[in-house]
Amino acid sequence: MVIGAGIAGLFAARALTGHFRQVIVIDRDALPPDAAHRTGVPQGAHVHALFTRGLRTAEELLPGFADTLLQRGGQRIDVGADLAIHTPYGWGTRSASNLEVVGASRPLIEAVARERITLLPGVRLLDRHHVERLTGNKYRVQAVRARDLQLDSTIDLPTQLVVDASGRGSRLPAWLDTLGCPEPVPETVIDPQLGYATRLYRRSPTSDPGWRACYSLLNAPTTTRGAVIAPIEDQRWIVTLLGIGPDRPGRHDNDFLPFAASLATPEIARALQQATPLTHVATSRATANRRRHLDQVATLPANLFVLGDAACAFNPIYAQGMTVAMLTAQLLDTCLREPAGPASPAARYHRRLSKLIDAPWLLATAADQRFPLTQGPESSAARRLMANYLNRVLAAGTDDPRVQHAFLKVLTMIDSPAALAAPATLLRTLRHSVRTMPGSTGQIPGRQAPAPPSQP
Ligand SMILES: Cc1cc2nc3c(=O)[nH]c(=O)nc-3n(C[C@H](O)[C@H](O)[C@H](O)COP(=O)(O)OP(=O)(O)OC[C@H]3O[C@@H](n4cnc5c(N)ncnc54)[C@H](O)[C@@H]3O)c2cc1C
């Protein structure tokens, strides 16, 4: 029984088909037959970059996934060559890489996964059912109690195994409480007070801005406004504006262009002038980093597995959430394959989940902790060092393609942030820092003439 037919739930269903004859995926929404927005996934209105590691994982779990996205209008993007990244130090260098992503709307990504999952033998989607609680005891879940939203009646669905893939708003703590689990699940929340505002635009078929996607980075502590433009199906751009605290973009259509014009680079506003808005502004503030430390709870039901955002939700600007959701599904499969040991598969899974989450969590939170308005635990010296070093990597990436490539491998989750400490990258980054220190003969960071974004 899988609660939630979002990214984690769909890929969990795929993982479970190797172990169970019947897998039921329950969702409270009416699941659309095609790529349509739905209320259970409000974040679906915003840019959803499925970075390289996620795309490759999707391909491993559902071979042909990327091709289907492309056939439905998804746009192939080489992150090294096609994505222009503006940093406080200038434009990142651009060169061909093997770091591929497919630009597509979140509804399309989900629709392709949903179609593929429903073709698998034994998988059934049960939509318009809202899971209210789990029944059983602290050792084992016996059934999932769901309200049929059409009939307004409840049913108990008996189960051998339960996956909570109900996303950022998961009711897991309340469910565990009613099962009689004695301890609350410890949580860490680091909230950078980030806001999103998004509109879809029709791209001009004739004008070429010199990039296929453009990212004006937020950068702690001082660059508190940013934006992303990405190509998606049907000749459209998805344009998301980003801001921290009082710099959050407004919710009115009239706020959109002035905010774009206020960014550190004029590139975004310039591009929007060549495009036609298709939708009103959608906003989101559901952007805090929230991690549940399930590995630290002594008694959890042995057949309950928590996946995706229900286990750990990230500040979305780092575009890690869907990839981590897929990786948690893959980990579920691995843990169920392993021979039985003293610990239950769920206990093993939650221990390894914590290790899996460590790297993306560090990347998202170390930088976020440097924004002055961020709420949550104080940063440690090691995290501050890492965040400072990351800025030096960004600066070096503006004129050293090899450093930029190393950064992009971390951004696309092919490498963990620790890879940036590899001797070659470290040396090149430090060399760049020394060369550009004030008083040296090199350029001063932040004062470089920005390379035109079309430059390779
Ligand atoms: C503004 C924003 C932008 C983002 N951009 C990116 C990005 O660029 N790249 C990226 O990788 N990630 C991005 N993310 C993160 C990404 O959306 C999530 O990480 C991902 O969707 C997690 O998948 P999930 O299956 O865990 O949860 P979700 O996809 O949220 O799915 C949860 C599902 O559970 C269902 N549900 C919830 N409660 C119940 C219940 N009680 N009973 C029945 N059904 C229930 C919901 O209807 C929904 O279908 C972004 C997030 C936000 C907020």
The minimum-distance atom of ligand 1 relative to the CA of 51 is 11
Alpha-helix runs per DSSP H in 288-400? 321-337, 345-368, 381-396
Among candidate residues 261, 284, 307, the one where a domain is terminated: 284
| Domain identity same for 15 and 110 | yes
| 382: in domain | no
pLDDT bracket for residue 151 (50, 70, 90): very high
| Domain identity same for 280 and 292 | no
CA distances from residue 423 to 122, 367, 419, 428 in whole angstroms, order as listed: 50, 22, 9, 9
Buried b (16+ CB within 10 A) or exposed e, 405-434: bbbbbbbbbbbebeebeeeebbebbeebbe
Per-residue pLDDT, 222: 86
| Domain identity same for 246 and 131 | no
Any atom of ligand 1 within 6 Å of the Cβ of 360: no
For ligand 1, atom 16, the nearest C-alpha belongs to 321
Q: Report the mean per-residue pLDDT for the chain.
A: 93
Higher pLDDT, 405 or 341: 405
Give the separation between CA 408 and CA 241, rounded to whole angstroms: 21
For every residue of 112-170, DSSP letters joined together read HHHHHHHTSTTEEEE-SEEEEEEEE-SS-EEEEEEEETTTTEEEEEE-S-EEE---TT-
| Domain identity same for 149 and 292 | yes
Q: Are 402 and 427 in contact (CB under 8 A)?
A: no
> Directed axis angle between helix 52-61 and helix 321-337, to 10°?
40
Any atom of ligand 1 within 6 Å of the Cβ of 308: yes
pLDDT, tens digit (0-9, with 9 covering 90-100), for 36-83: 999 999 999 999 999 999 999 999 999 999 999 999 999 999 999 999
The label of the residue with tokens 């801001």 reads 243
Say how many Å lie between the CA of residue 310 and the centre of ligand 1: 9
Any atom of ligand 1 within 6 Å of the Cβ of 319: yes
Residue ranges making up the domain that contains 212: 193-284
pLDDT, tens digit (0-9, with 9 covering 90-100), for 376-388: 998 888 888 888 9
Give the separation between CA 238 and CA 278, rounded to whole angstroms: 10
Instruction: Show the tokens assigned to 320.
Output: 């890690």
| Domain identity same for 174 and 217 | no
Say how many Å lie between the CA of residue 125 and the centre of ligand 1: 17
Any atom of ligand 1 within 6 Å of the Cβ of 3: yes
What residues are paired with 284 via a beta bridge?
Answer: 196
- Segment 308-334 mean pLDDT: 97
Per-residue pLDDT, 408: 98
| Domain identity same for 229 and 129 | no
Phi, psi (5° rounding) for residue 102? Answer: -115, 120
DSSP class of 23: E
Q: Are 360 and 51 in contact (CB under 8 A)?
A: no
For ligand 1, atom 10, the nearest C-alpha belongs to 319
Cα dihedral 63, 44, 263, 214 in deg (nearest 10):
20
Instruction: Show the tokens assigned to 271.
Output: 């591009």
Q: Which has the closest alpha carbon to 282: 246, 323, 253?
A: 253
pLDDT, tens digit (0-9, with 9 covering 90-100), for 400-453: 999 999 999 999 999 999 999 999 999 999 999 988 866 544 343 333 334 444
- The DSSP bridge pattern shows strands 213-216 and 225-232 to be antiparallel
Any atom of ligand 1 within 6 Å of the Cβ of 4: yes
Any atom of ligand 1 within 6 Å of the Cβ of 29: yes
Higher pLDDT, 307 or 340: 307
| Domain identity same for 308 and 275 | no
Q: 347 pLDDT exceeds 80?
A: yes
Query: Residue 345: which CATH number?
Result: 3.50.50.60
Among candidate residues 256, 284, 312, the one where a domain is terminated: 284
Any atom of ligand 1 within 6 Å of the Cβ of 321: yes
Give the separation between CA 192 and CA 369, rounded to whole angstroms: 7
| Domain identity same for 352 and 331 | yes
Q: Are 108 and 72 in contact (CB under 8 A)?
A: yes
Any atom of ligand 1 within 6 Å of the Cβ of 249: no
The minimum-distance atom of ligand 1 relative to the CA of 198 is 1
Q: Are 15 and 337 in contact (CB under 8 A)?
A: no
| 450: in domain | no
- Segment 124-134 mean pLDDT: 98
For every residue of 311-334, DSSP letters joined together read TEE--GGG--HHHHHHHHHHHHHH
Any atom of ligand 1 within 6 Å of the Cβ of 167: yes
Q: Are 14 and 117 in contact (CB under 8 A)?
A: yes
pLDDT, tens digit (0-9, with 9 covering 90-100), for 229-256: 999 999 999 999 999 999 999 999 999 9
Q: Which has the closest alpha carbon to 3: 258, 54, 12, 104?
A: 12
Any atom of ligand 1 within 6 Å of the Cβ of 213: no
Which of 1, 2, 28 is the pocket-test mutation for ligand 1 (most atoms within 8 Å of CB)? 28
pLDDT, tens digit (0-9, with 9 covering 90-100), for 162-205: 999 999 999 999 999 999 998 999 999 999 999 999 999 999 98
- The DSSP bridge pattern shows strands 153-158 and 123-126 to be unpaired
Phi, psi (5° rounding) for residue 365? Answer: -85, -30
Count of domains in the chain?
2
| Domain identity same for 113 and 35 | yes
Q: In what order do the strands lie in the sheet with 304-306?
A: 123-126, 23-26, 2-3, 162-164, 304-306
Say how many Å lie between the CA of residue 290 and the centre of ligand 1: 13
Q: 456 pLDDT exceeds 50?
A: no
| Domain identity same for 229 and 161 | no
| Domain identity same for 257 and 162 | no
| Domain identity same for 208 and 350 | no
Query: Residue 210: which CATH number?
Result: 3.30.70
